[in-house]
Amino acid sequence: MHQTVDHVRLSEDGGALIILDQRRLPLHREYLTLTEKQQMYDAIKSLAIRGAPAIGIFAAFGMTVLARSMPLGDRAAFDREFLASSAYLNSSRPTAVNLGWALGRMERVLAANPTLPPEALLPLLRQEAQNILDEDIAMCTAISEYGLSLLKPGDGVLTHCNAGPIATSRYGTAIGPLILGAERGIRLRAFSDETRPLLQGARLTSYELQRAGVDVTLICDNMASMVMKNGWVQFCFVGCDRVAANGDAANKIGTSGVAILAKHYGIPFYVLGPSSTVDLKTPTGADIPIELRSEDEIRSKWYAEPMALPEVKCYNPAFDVTDHELIAGIITEKGICRPPYTESLRKLFA
C-alpha cells in the first residue's frame, strides 16, 4: 500500500499546522510550522502549499488551528472571527474551487450547532478537517483505480503540472494511475511536462514518479508535440482546479495547449479530479476566474540573473481552460464521466 504523504498535518497538541514546503522540492525536504492566518494565507499565495485538493485539506486544518485562539467565551464573537478568517483564507487563490468548498464545510459545522459553546465546537471542527482528508485519500484511490482501468502495460501517459500525492493525498489524481500501476508491477511510461514558469512538472511530478518507481521522462513544455508525433504517448492525464457544469476544465497554464495537440494526434485527453472540483454553479469555463501572478515569475524566478529586461511586459496567468470538446472523459471517484458533460456531471450529484 502506498503510504499517505505527510505534507499537511497538525502538530501533536493541535496548536500548529505543519506543511511540506513545496517551493523547496526536489532537493530540499523542509517543513513550515504555521499558527497565524497571515502565515496560512502566504503559504497558499506563495505556493508553499499547492494543488487544489491539498489546499482544501490545508485550509480545513488551518481553521482548526485558528479557532483555538478565537474568543472561546463568546459564541457570537467566535462566529464573527471564524467567518472572517475563513473569508480571508478563501481570498488567497481564486481559481481552485476546493479551497472555498473545504472552508464552506468548516463553516457548516458552526451553522449545524448554533447553541454549542465555542469550546465544544473545537473537536467537531478538527473531526471535520480529518473527514476531508480521509475522504480525499479514498477519492484519490478510487480515481487512480478508474484511471488505471484505461491503461495497458507499456502505455505512455503525458501529464502537465503536478497532480500527485503532495498536491492531493495518497496516490494523487492525474498521476495516481501511474503510481498505483507501479505498485502492482504494471510497466507504464510517463512523460512529464516541466510546466513553466513555476516548473511543477520538473520539480514535483518527476520527483514523485521517480520515487514511486515509474519510468518517467521529463520534457520541456514545447516538446509535447514531438513525443506525441513519435507515438510514445497513448493517453494524456491531467488534474484540474475547477470543472464547470459543461465540462470545461481549468488547470495549470499550458493544459489547453496539450489538449489541442492531443486532438491533432488522436490521443485521448482525460481530466482527473475529485467531485469536489466540479462546480455546477459555474456554467462554463468563461465564468471561471483566472489568477494572474507576478511578472517576475517569468522574468527572474529561477535564474541567477533576470532573463528579460526589467521594462519588458510579462503576462502570467496561472491557469487556462480546456474546452469540454477536447476532453475524452472526466474521471472522479464516482466513475468516468463522458460527454455530454452537462448530463454526466449532474448525475454525479443526483
**CATH classification of 152-348, choosing from 3.40.50.10470, 3.40.50.300, 3.40.50.150, 1.10.3720.10?**
3.40.50.10470
Domain at 8-140, CATH homologous superfamily: translation initiation factor eif-2b, domain 1 (1.20.120.420)
Range(s) for CATH 1.20.120.420 in the chain? Answer: 8-140
Chain position carrying cell 459553546: 117
Would you give per-residue pLDDT tens digits along the chain (350 residues)?
444 568 999 999 999 999 999 999 999 999 999 999 999 999 999 999 998 889 999 999 999 999 999 999 999 999 999 999 999 999 998 877 889 999 999 999 999 999 999 999 999 999 999 999 999 999 999 999 999 999 999 999 999 999 999 998 889 999 999 999 999 999 999 999 999 999 999 999 999 999 999 999 999 999 999 999 999 999 999 999 999 999 999 999 999 999 999 999 999 999 999 998 999 999 999 999 999 999 999 999 999 999 999 999 999 999 999 999 999 999 999 999 999 999 999 998 88
For residue 183 the three cell numbers come to 505498485
Give catalytic status of residue 241 as yes or no.
yes
* Rg from Cα positions in the chain: 20
Cα separation, 209 vs 215, in Å, equals 8
Which position among 155, 241, 279, 320 bears the catalytic label?
241
What residue type is 255 in one-letter code? T
Q: Is the pTM of this model over 0.85?
A: yes
Question: What are 250's strand-pairing partners?
Answer: 242, 321
Range(s) for CATH 3.40.50.10470 in the chain? Answer: 152-348
Q: DSSP string covering 136-177, please?
A: HHHHHHHHHHHHHTT--TT-EEEE-S--SGGGSSTT-STTHH
